[in-house]
Amino acid sequence: MHTDLNTILQNIAIMAIPVVLAITLHEAAHGWVAYKFGDPTAKYAGRLTLNPIAHIDPFGTILLPIITYLFAGFIIGAAKPVPVNFANLRNPRRDMIWVGAAGPGINIAMALICGILFQFLVSPSLQIISRSGFFSIVLVPLILMLKEGIKWNIVLAVFNLIPVPPLDGSRILAGLLPHRQAEFMGRLEPYGLLIITFLVFLNPFGFMTYIIWPIMSVLTRLFAGMPVF
């Protein structure tokens, strides 16, 4: 039991920095793009920052991921949503697409950066050097963090692209749809959390099993330089 607890704590320590960084950049990207397109709401709320404290929700970002990891074996969590007033955007229908895509986009970019660094650090020449005690102590945790960085940035990007309000995919889709269908998407928002819970936990028609998880798995392996099939 003591060994299991140590393993869990080590896993949480390795995941903590990549997960917090992925969430922070995701939320800051939404606010920054909204600001560039004319909406200063996030700036006035102090959300155009890379300080994770500004984006962390005590329950959604800290307690919920720990609870779901300990009792379900996987992580579910959320940051405080960045406030965006779409009416302030210069071209609301067009610009909401870019605001919605900013979060997943920065996560894909971060996954790519982590993948490049990961490939460099696991190269045979560097592995020879890392056999010495000091480099092993530094490089092994760094390699593990980069691997987690790839995984969680991909998870955030793909999951948020599901077109269900309030996920980013719904903003992108609403900007592309005709007005009537876009308004229907907006009316779904009060029920969005229920719909997402239904999709994740009840997995209708194998939506998560055969679509979302495989996409995440393929992209994670691809960015880590591993064989996809």
Q: What does the pLDDT look like over 60-84, one tens digit per residue?
A: 777 777 776 666 566 667 788 899 9
Quick one: tokens of 57?
A: 């929700």
Quick one: tokens of 141?
A: 């945790």
- List pLDDT tens digits, range 12-30: 778 888 988 999 899 999 9
Cα 73 to its chain centre, rounded Å, is 18
- Output the pLDDT for position 45: 92
Cα separation, 67 vs 28, whole angstroms: 25
* Residue 173 to residues 69, 148, 180, 228, Cα–Cα distance (Å): 31, 29, 12, 29
Quick one: tokens of 190?
A: 């009060």
Rg (CA), the chain: 19
Contact 203, 139 (CB under 8 A): no
Omega of the bond prior to 163 within 30 degrees of 0, cis? no
Cα separation, 68 vs 17, whole angstroms: 18
Contact 88, 40 (CB under 8 A): yes
Query: Residue 166: which residues within 8 A CB-CB, separation 6 or more?
Result: 81, 189, 192
Q: Identify residue 219 by its one-letter amino acid code.
A: L
Quick one: tokens of 220?
A: 């994670």
| pLDDT tens per residue across all 229 residues of the chain | 455 667 777 777 788 889 889 998 999 999 999 999 999 999 999 999 988 888 888 877 777 777 766 665 666 677 888 999 989 999 999 999 999 999 999 999 999 999 999 988 887 766 666 666 666 777 888 889 999 999 999 999 999 999 999 899 999 999 999 988 888 888 888 888 888 888 887 888 888 889 999 999 999 999 988 776 6
The catalytic site residues sit at 27
